[in-house]
Amino acid sequence: MKIFSLHIVISILLFGFLNTVVAQTDSLKFSLLRQYDIWHFENTTGNNKFYERVKGFKFLGANASIGGSLRAQLEILDRPMFQNTTMDNSGGLARGLFHFDVKTLNNHQFFLELGSSHSIDKDNPIILDRDRLYVNQLFLKFNTGDFNWVIGRENLNYGSRRLFAIREGPNVRLSFDSFRVIYNKKNVSSELLALSVVPVELGVLDNDFYQFDNYILGTYNTIRLFSETTLMEVYYLRLQQQFSAYVDAQGKEIRHSIGTRWEIPFGEKLIFNNEIVYQFGNIADKSIRAWTLSLQAKYQLSNTLEYEINGEVISGDKDQNDDRLNTFNPLYPDVAYFGRVARFAPYNLLDIHNRIQFKKNKWMGELGHYAFWRYSVEDGIYGSGGFLQYSPVNDERFVAQQLAFTVKYRWNKFLSTDLETNLILPEDFLKKQDANKILSYLLLTTTFTF
């Protein structure tokens, strides 16, 4: 396949280039959101000199940097709806992100990031696979002592990414046109935000700014208690969406979310991450009352092994004949929250996730098991994006089990390759509607960051 050849070209050529021209450097640290990269290039010597002179430079008296990432993916998906099909759901994805970053000595920042995302040899690409050329981020940040003022287009991550995430799994990231005011003082960070969702378009620079058709208003607050490792987050978010569709209601949705999250360490090996959210509001002529509770514990078994158990209760609608909707809306979560295959979104679910992770040197491996049940038999199962995938046509709760395996190798600071495989085994709820085939998924990713 074309995309497999692209993997080979990127891996061989870039690996050779980076190991002969660019040595490892402690003056550069990449972040998932590139506006938070750490870079300071002074008195460069040796093999790093050429790269660092191009990477960092002076612009109108300020420190400036250019960079980006190239990502190529081979995706193989068999029986995507747990049924045999003649459609080829396999193919490739390619994405390039390129940015220009300017930071002044008093911490003002200008950041521009362009993206280009493409689907290769896929018979049925989804909307998040393609956008020929788009402004992924474009913002100004002003620092006035304890306050930062941000205006523009941004990728955003909040908390544990249960409600806000950048949508890194799909080929096109999630962007918001934003107004944000952030207060930072000692162990407290408090933020006021207004965010307008940027819809994905397929053309060239055709993503309009500040449409405010679907938007979020609210505040997000982080407090570090007792020590730097104990963290509490408290937030309020108001979602307005022009059209939402659930089993029990559809129409314009106004939903308020009040939540809190805690990270609490016990000793050096055990850490708890717990979150609870309550939602109210209305959709069409129905009121909203929904909630979710997430409990997570991580334990460091050794220097190389970590075990995690995660359980969630996510409310679904109790009665289709009443005037109330109980289906929880996760807003804009990490699409790959249950793995990159993303068959089930966090609506109307009970789930348990066990995971063991291995890390040593340049290797990372992960083995996970998920189990999914419906919270309410009166509600269905939803896919990523909040679309109803399976209607409540029977009274069974047990939806599926999922086995996931991931292995990742970081060749150096710039180049990485990872392989993820998933098997999803349908259980009673799916089997009773003739969705009884095992879904298999494989994703091979090569990423070059510069």
pLDDT, tens digit, 9 for 90 and up, residues 394-443: 999 999 999 999 999 999 989 999 999 999 999 999 999 999 999 999 99
Query: What is the Cα–Cα distance from 18 to 356, expressed in whole angstroms?
Result: 32
Q: Please say if the pLDDT value at position 26 is more than 90.
A: no
Of the listed ranges 200-204, 252-256, 354-358, 444-448, the one predicted with least confidence? 200-204
Tally of CB atoms within 10 A around 209: 11
pLDDT, tens digit, 9 for 90 and up, residues 335-394: 777 878 888 999 999 999 999 999 999 999 999 999 999 999 999 999 888 889 999 999
User: Within 13 A of 63's CA, how many CA atoms are on the CB side?
Assistant: 16
Q: Please say if the pLDDT value at position 54 is more than 90.
A: no
Query: What is the Cα–Cα distance from 111 to 351, expressed in whole angstroms?
Result: 39
Sign of the alpha-carbon dihedral angle for 292, 212, 382, 327:
positive
**DSSP β-bridge partners for residue 74:** 92, 444
- Short-list 309, 314, 156, 160, CA closest to 233: 160
State the pLDDT confidence band at 226, using cuts at 50, 70 and 90: confident
Q: Please say if the pLDDT value at position 3 is more than 70.
A: no
- Mean pLDDT to the nearest integer, 211-215: 87
